[in-house]
Amino acid sequence: MINQTESLQNTRQTKFLLLLVTLLALMVLEPFLFDYTGLKFLLEIFFSATLFTSIYAVSGKKGTTFIAILLALLKLGTTWASGFISHPLINLSDSIIGIIFVAYIIVLILRHIFKQEEVTVETIYGALVVYILVGIMWFFLYQLTEFLHPNSFSVAIDPATESKKIIFYYSFVTLTTLGYGDIEPISAPARSLAMLEAIVGQMYIAVLIARLVGMHISQSLFKK
């Protein structure tokens, strides 16, 4: 019984690591699977698995878990529907539900992090997960902006590239403030979102993650 309890605790302690690995794998595989129709189907399956890995990472109280599952199912439905049916309302719904779902997961993970009395490696993993999820949330925000304000972005790269792939790339380039200049926000809402994402990205790394890492190192030295 003790071994089962310890095994369950160890599993819970790696839930953020599992989500982090899943998100990183999704980002690595996306360029290789997106351009091929047959393999793109695998990308949708992998993305679906990522949704439920997110639910597992924030699972706890029945109420919050139920809401996360409901939002994940709605996102799953719109994602798969958009793959088979090209309709503006489906794409609009997919972006809106994506924003709500990712924002909800971010809030739950941050709430968990701030409740911890001791900073562990798993806490840092959770903070890193939030950083990636912020980039994904802004991807949906940019998609929504492009839907409401067409041609909000000027693209210097191959125009034949699908807009989703371009916007996903642009979101993380902006989050990390790399700013290659191959994509430029043109409309006022797109520019505002880009500025806000860059500010959030830098402040998050400088304030939260740096603080957590520093506290973890300090605690480790104190225990010695």
Residue 6 has pLDDT above 70, yes or no: no
pLDDT tens per residue across span 106-145: 999 999 888 877 888 888 899 899 999 999 999 999 999 9
How far lies 71's CA from each of 61, 78, 108, 139, 142, in Å?
16, 11, 14, 17, 20
- What are the φ and ψ backbone dihedral angles of 132, each rounded to 5 degrees? -70, -40
How far lies 8's CA from each of 5, 11, 56, 122, 125, in Å?
5, 5, 13, 15, 19
Residue 2 has pLDDT above 50, yes or no: no
Give me the CATH number covering residue 19.
Answer: 1.10.287.70
- Structural domain total, the chain: 1
Residue 202, domain extent: 2-223
Residue 16 has pLDDT above 70, yes or no: yes
